[in-house]
Chains A and B, each alone.
Chain A
Amino acid sequence: MTPHDRLRVGLAAARYLDALERNDEADLESLWAAAAADPELLAAFRDIHAGLLEEQAARDAAVLSEAVEKHLPSAEVVRPPSGPVTVADVADELFRHTPDRLPADAHRLNERLRQSAEPIPTDLGLPKLIAWAEAKYGPAVREYWKAFHQAVIKLHTRRESAEYQTAARKAPKPEDRK
């Protein structure tokens, strides 16, 4: 595309989004009349639809998550991965899938850890994880840290799997395969 074409298509897509948001029937009609004979405009308008659907899906998911968290506090809302696994992510996981026979102190510690956005260092074995965590958050029974360690591995695996699926979905479009 020439710079002129990029500008023309970029502005037409902007005008289309504006007409959609104002539900301007006359503007929409003239834009679709132009797109019927212009493959680049048609592709741009399709992308606008897909982008709007992405935004709507995110809004719908946020509304649903909020409702679930409000009315079913122990339910698990699986979100797309973003950033490193944090102490709070792991403590949330343990809150939802609590190991049997943990002492009350461990429950209290876990509740406190649900507030910590500290990223967990990668590739820590159980002894090093216990040393790192107890230095920061204080002592707990070994059963708690063992469950914590298993939850770290579970979340890392889940996140890597989701990242792989996201990357796989980003397959190139035919026009990009030049």
Chain B
Amino acid sequence: MTPAVPQPATAPPDDPERAALDAPELRGELTAHALARLGIWLSDQPAATRADAAQEIVQETLQRAWRRRDTFDPAAGTSLAGWTHGILNHVLSEHCRALRKQPAQPPADPAGWEDLAARMDPAEDPAEVNDLLDLLPADRRQIVTLYYLNELSHREIGERLGISEVCSRVRLARALNELRRLAAGKEGGR
């Protein structure tokens, strides 16, 4: 267990950062972040085990954020939520390393992402973008078309496909990831 850091029971009225760190909304979104990553990392573990780990990790994150509050710089355009997620990301990495050894993973592909961004740029010839999308299977092509060419919101896509708004976001992300891999394969095969 993480040792508790002595703190006043409630946020003083003149301390907005403390109040923001205490907000249940922030704790909720940090917990969702931790559960999402642990769900991938510990997919073979029961949900209750992941939930316990997530609670501990979020608690530790909030304590670290409190201790490091001097480094938070809103003047640089940083949001408190985004800054706290960054700390949570570190804590999650430490926990993941401690829980189990990482199996070999495919390497990052920054050039592939940049290439995909350039090829899908709105200034590009739509016919070429369509050719690129033809690489995808029909269901994945559909969601990219709805979002990118038809400019629907995720809410509208969700209504059209009978899925939730957040599920639409994840499906689009998977489709774009596959498109990057397929486009790189096609380039390599030329």
Which of A33-41, A101-109, A111-119, A144-152 lies on the face that meets chain B?
A: A33-41
Report the count of interface residues on A (CB-CB < 8 A). 51
Chain B residues whose C-beta falls within 8 Å of the C-beta of A13 in the assembled complex: 169, 172-173
The answer to whether A54 touches B167 (Cβ under 8 A) is: yes
Which of B5-13, B16-24, B61-69, B117-125 lies on the face that meets chain A?
A: B117-125
The answer to whether B176 touches A10 (Cβ under 8 A) is: yes
The answer to whether A48 touches B170 (Cβ under 8 A) is: yes
The answer to whether B85 touches A45 (Cβ under 8 A) is: yes
Does B33 sit within 8 A of A, measured CB to CB?
yes
Smallest distance from the beta carbon of A80 to chain B beta carbons, Å? 12
A157–B169 CA distance with the chains assembled, in angstroms: 32
A33–B76 CA distance with the chains assembled, in angstroms: 12
The answer to whether A52 touches B148 (Cβ under 8 A) is: no
Chain A residues whose C-beta falls within 8 Å of the C-beta of B147 in the assembled complex: 6, 10
Closest A residue to B175 using CB positions: A14
Report the count of interface residues on B (CB-CB < 8 A). 55
Which of A15-23, A70-78, A129-137 lies on the face that meets chain B?
A: A15-23
The answer to whether B83 touches A50 (Cβ under 8 A) is: no
Q: A7-B117, A10-B147, A10-B148 are in contact. Are A52 and B176 (CB under 8 A)?
A: no
Q: A4-B122, A11-B117, A13-B172 are in contact. Are A51 and B151 (CB under 8 A)?
A: no
- Kindly identify, within residues 150 to 190 of chain B, every residue whose CB is under 8 Å from any CB belonging to chain A: 151, 153-155, 164-177, 180
A173–B121 CA distance with the chains assembled, in angstroms: 29
A53–B39 CA distance with the chains assembled, in angstroms: 8
Interface residues in chain B, defined as those with a beta carbon under 8 Å from any beta carbon in chain A: 29, 32-33, 35-37, 39-41, 43, 47, 76-79, 81-83, 85-86, 89-90, 93, 96, 102, 105-106, 108, 113, 116-117, 120-122, 147-148, 151, 153-155, 164-177, 180
Interface residues in chain A, defined as those with a beta carbon under 8 Å from any beta carbon in chain B: 3-4, 6-8, 10-11, 13-29, 32-33, 35-39, 42, 44-56, 59-60, 170, 172-173, 176
Q: A17-B170, A47-B165, A173-B155 are in contact. List 11 more A-B contacts (CB 8 A).
A: A10-B173, A19-B108, A20-B37, A22-B105, A29-B89, A46-B29, A50-B166, A51-B171, A52-B36, A52-B40, A53-B39
27 residue pairs A–B, Cβ–Cβ below 8 Å: A4-B122, A8-B117, A10-B147, A10-B176, A11-B120, A13-B172, A14-B173, A18-B177, A19-B108, A20-B37, A22-B108, A24-B105, A26-B108, A27-B108, A32-B89, A36-B83, A37-B79, A37-B82, A45-B85, A46-B29, A48-B173, A49-B33, A52-B36, A52-B170, A56-B35, A59-B43, A176-B155
